[in-house]
């Protein structure tokens, strides 16, 4: 069968696959930005010392981290409209799910980042009259964030790969678009091979970039 592979359908399928890729990237970027913000807040909540706040954040993070993303995608898709009484569409549903889900992972990274900053710096900040939140915002977080950039990026590229799971709710990411095209033209194997190459190219470049960042940060230290 491989000797009669026919890649001539790829140009025909390219617009649809491009559109799918755009959605995969959009989903990744939205979930990354939203997830890092929410994740940082969760990390701060866990380190705040407030019993209830820290406890709630811990439960949230642990729960999200022990449920498969595939199940989470299905849950949110069915539950959001049931709870809000308003349909949100599969694309929006995917973005909400990914943001809330990734926040748990980003929060663990940020927590590690915050804890890597010597305690003395917080004390120093408090000593010069900053409030707790000021010391976090001006002293701790900028450094924590910087230290954790490579790890955050690594998590993001896992996130990008995970966007392939949204087919479960009928959102059209790159893989789904390729499958649709494959079905339309009777060329599923060619489409699978083609998008594998695209995924590899994107993820490989990203992982090279992470390596480069790692080196740069190592020099700064």
Partner 1 sequence: MKKLHALLALSVACSVGAASAQQLEGTLKKVADAKAITLGIRESSFPLSYLDASQKPIGYHIDICNAVANAVKAKLKLASLDVKTQAVTSQNRIPLIVNGTVDLECGSTTNNLDRQKQVAFAPTTFVTNVRMAVKKASGVTDLDQLDGKPLATTTGTTSVQLVRASEKGKNLNFKEVYGKDHADSFLMLETDRAVGFVMDDNLLAGLIANSKAPDAYAIVGPALSVEPIAIMLRKDDPQFKAIVDDTVKGLAKSGELTKLYHKWFESPIPPKGINLKFAMSDELKKLVATPNDNPAESFKK
Partner 2 sequence: MNYHWNWDIFFQTIPSGDETYLMWVIHGLGWTVAISLAAWVIALVLGSLAGILRTVPNRRIAMIGDVWVEFFRNVPLLMQLFLWFFVVPELLPRDLSLWVKQDMPAKEFITAVLALGLFTSARVAEQVRAGIQALPRGQRNAGLALGFTQAQTYRYVLLPMAFRIIIPPLTSEFMNAFKNSGVAYAVGVWELVFVSRQMVEETGGQVIESLLVPTVLYIVCAYAANRIMAVVERRSHVPGFIVAK
Among 32, 42, 69, 80, binds partner 2 (CB under 8 A): 69
Please report, as residue ranges, which positions from 139 to 198 form the binding site for partner 2 (by CB under 8 A).
161-162, 164-165, 175, 188-189, 192-193, 195-196
> Which residues are CB-contacts of 132 (< 8 A; sequence separation ≥ 6)?
126
The verdict on 23 binding partner 2 (CB under 8 A) reads no
Among the residues of the chain, which ranges form H helices?
Answer: 10-47, 51-66, 69-84, 90-115, 119-127, 132-134, 141-162, 174-185, 188-220
Please check whether residue 69 is in contact with residue 101, taking contact to mean a CB–CB distance below 8 angstroms.
Answer: yes
Burial (0-12, 13-18, 19+ Cβ within 10 Å), 165: buried
Among 12, 207, 209, 215, binds partner 2 (CB under 8 A): 207
Closest CB to partner 1 among 16 and 53?
16
Binds partner 1 (CB under 8 A): choice among 64, 171, 175, 202 = 171
Asked if 39 contacts 107 with a C-beta cutoff of 8 angstroms, the reply is yes
Touching partner 2, residues 76-95 (CB under 8 A): 78, 82-83
125 binds partner 2 (CB under 8 A): no
Decide if residue 7 touches partner 2 (CB under 8 A): no
How many residues sit in the footprint of partner 2 (CB under 8 A)? 31
Round to whole Å and give the CA distance between 86 and 97.
16
Task: Output 56 or 168, the one with its CB closest to partner 1.
Answer: 168
Residue burial 34-51, b: 16+ Cβ < 10 Å; e: rest: bbbebbbebbbbbbeeee
Binding mask 185-204 for partner 1 (x = CB under 8 A): xxxxx---------------
- The residues binding partner 2 (CB under 8 A) are 1-2, 63, 65-71, 74-75, 78, 82-83, 161-162, 164-165, 175, 188-189, 192-193, 195-196, 199-200, 203-204, 207
- The residues binding partner 1 (CB under 8 A) are 1, 4, 6, 12, 15-16, 19, 74, 77-78, 81-82, 85-90, 168-172, 177, 179-180, 182-189
């Amino acid at each position: 069968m491989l000797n009669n592979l026919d890649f001539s359908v790829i140009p025909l399928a390219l617009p649809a696959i491009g559109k799918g890729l755009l959605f995969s990237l959009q989903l990744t970027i939205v979930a990354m930005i939203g997830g890092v913000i929410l994740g940082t807040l969760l990390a701060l909540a866990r380190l705040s010392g407030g019993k209830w706040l820290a406890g709630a954040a811990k439960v949230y993070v642990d729960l999200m981290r022990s449920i498969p993303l595939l199940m989470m995608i299905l849950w949110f898709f069915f539950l959001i409209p049931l709870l809000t009484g308003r349909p949100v569409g599969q694309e929006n549903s995917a973005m909400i799910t990914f943001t809330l889900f990734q926040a748990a992972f980003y929060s663990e990274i940020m927590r590690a980042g915050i804890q890597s900053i010597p305690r003395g710096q917080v004390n120093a900040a408090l000593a010069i009259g900053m409030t707790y939140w000021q010391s976090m915002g001006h002293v701790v977080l900028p450094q924590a964030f910087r230290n954790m950039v490579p790890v955050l990026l690594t998590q993001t590229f896992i996130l990008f790969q995970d966007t392939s799971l949204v087919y479960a709710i009928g959102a059209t990411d790159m893989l789904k678009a390729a499958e649709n095209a494959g079905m339309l033209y009777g060329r599923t194997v060619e489409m699978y091979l083609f998008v594998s190459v695209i995924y590899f190219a994107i993820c490989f470049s990203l992982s090279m970039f992470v390596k480069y960042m790692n080196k740069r940060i190592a020099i700064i230290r």
